Amino acid sequence: MTVSEQKQAQRRAGRTARRALSAQARAAANSALCANLWQLDAVQNAQTILLYAAFGSEADLSAFAEKAQAQGKTLAYPVCGEAYSLTAAVPGPDGWEVGQYGIRTPILSRSEILLPEALDLVLVPCTAFDADCFRVGMGKGYYDRFLPRCTHAGKIGIAFEAQRVAHAAVDGHDQRLDAYVTERGIYQWK
C-alpha cells in the first residue's frame, strides 16, 4: 500500500471513529480535551491563537475559545484560499459565513488579518494522528503549507483519542506538531 493509500485509509478510519462517538461521549470528550489544552504553558502564554471552528464530527473547541476570549486572547480562524493557501483571520461581529467546504469561516473583508509570524499558537485539526505528533489531515495540505511560516508559534494538534493510529502515514512535506491534545491527555514531541 502506498503512503497515499495509507493516508486515505487513515482518513476514513479517523472520520468513522469520530462519528461513532455518541452525543454524550462527544460532549464529555470535548470538555476534557479543552481542560487538557489549558494545562500547556504554550496555551497559557499565547496571546494570538489560530484555532478552527469544528466541522462535522471534529473535536469542538468552542468552550476553549470562550475562555480564551474572556482572558483577552486574540482568536483567529483559518480561511482557505486559492492554491491551497491559508489565511489567519480575526472575524468582526458580522464577520462569519459558510465557506467553500461547508465550514463556518471568517469573511476576509470583515476581519483583521494576522500574519503567520504574528501567531503565538496554532491549534490544528486532523483525521488521524500518532503519539509522535504526526497528523493526517483532510488531504489538501493547507496546514502543511501554512505551519512553516508560523515561525514563533507553538503547533498543537487537536483530536479525539479514537483517531490515534500506531503510525500516521506521512510524506516529506507533512509537518510534525509540537504536541497533540485529546480528551485522555497530552502527547508531546519536544
Q: Which amino acid is at 62?
A: S
Is 141 annotated as contributing to ligand binding? Answer: yes
Is 11 annotated as contributing to ligand binding? Answer: yes
Beta strand pairing call for 121-124 and 135-136: unpaired
**Separation between Cα atoms, residue 122 and residue 47, nearest integer Å:** 11
Rg (CA), the chain: 16
Is 88 annotated as contributing to ligand binding? Answer: no
Closest CA to 126 of 142, 106, 107: 142
Is 135 annotated as contributing to ligand binding? Answer: yes
Is 139 annotated as contributing to ligand binding? Answer: yes
Is 67 annotated as contributing to ligand binding? Answer: no
Q: Is 48 helix (H, G, I), strand (E, B) or coil?
A: strand
Q: Is 88 helix (H, G, I), strand (E, B) or coil?
A: strand
Is 95 annotated as contributing to ligand binding? Answer: no
Is 138 annotated as contributing to ligand binding? Answer: yes
Is 170 annotated as contributing to ligand binding? Answer: no
> Which residues contribute to the annotated binding site for ATP?
7-11, 135-143
> Which residues contribute to the annotated binding site?
7-11, 58, 135-143
> Which residues contribute to the annotated binding site for substrate?
58
